[in-house]
Structure 1
Amino acid sequence: MAERAMYRLFPALALLLPLAACGTGTTGEPPLAGARIGGTFALTDQNGKTVRDTDFAGKYRIVYFGYTYCPDVCPTDMAKIAQAMRQLDKEAPRTAAKVVPIFITVDPERDTPAAIRQFVANFYPRTVGLTGSPKAIADVAKSYAVYYKKQPPGPGGGYMVDHLAVAFLMGPKGEPIASLPIDQEGAAIAEQVRHWVR
Structure 2
Amino acid sequence: MSKNLRILLISALGLLLLAVGFGTWLSLQPPKPTGIVSSETRSSGTALIGGPFSLTDHTGARRSEADLQGRYSLIFFGYTYCPDICPTSLSTITQGLDILAESSEAKAAAVTPIFVSVDPARDTIEALADYVSHFHPSMLGMTGSEAEVAQTAKAYRVFYKKVEQADASDYLMDHSSIIYLMAPDGSYLSHFTHATTAEEIAEGLAQQVDPAQTAGS
Question: TM tier, shorter chain?
Answer: 0.7 to 0.9
Instruction: Report the AA paired with residue 170 of structure 2.
Output: G
Which letter does structure 2 place at the counterpart of 1:148?
Y
Q: Which runs of 5+ in 2 are unaligned?
A: 1-37, 211-217
Q: Does 1:74 align with 2:66?
A: no
Partner of 2:160 in structure 1?
148
CA distance in 1 between partners of 2:128 and 2:150 (Å): 17
Q: Structure 1, residues 113-149: CA drift from partner, whole Å, max 9, x if none?
A: 1111111111100000000000000000011000000
Q: What percentage of residue pairs aligned between the two structures are identical?
A: 38
Equivalent-residue separation in structure 2 for 1:47 and 1:181 (angstroms): 28
**TM-score, normalising length: structure 2:** 0.74
Q: Does 1:39 align with 2:73?
A: no
Q: Does the 8 Å contact 2:85/2:194 carry over to 1?
A: no
1:127 and 1:154 map into 2 onto residues whose CA distance is: 35
Q: Is 2:127 the counterpart of 1:115?
A: yes
Aligned residues: 169
Larger RCO of the pair (alpha carbons < 8 Å, separation 6+) = 1
Runs of 4 or more consecutive aligned structure 1 residues displaced over 6 Å after TM superposition: none
What is the distance in 2 between the residues matched to 1:74 and 1:105?
A: 10
Instruction: Output the aligned Cα RMSD.
Output: 1.6
- Pair 1:167 & 2:167 matched: no
Going from structure 1 to structure 2, the CA distance change for 1:176 and 1:41 (only over 3 Å counts) comes to: same
Query: Match of 1:130, SS?
Result: strand
Q: Does 1:195 align with 2:203?
A: no
Query: TM-score, normalization: structure 1?
Result: 0.81
The answer for unaligned runs of 5 or more in structure 1 is 1-14, 20-31
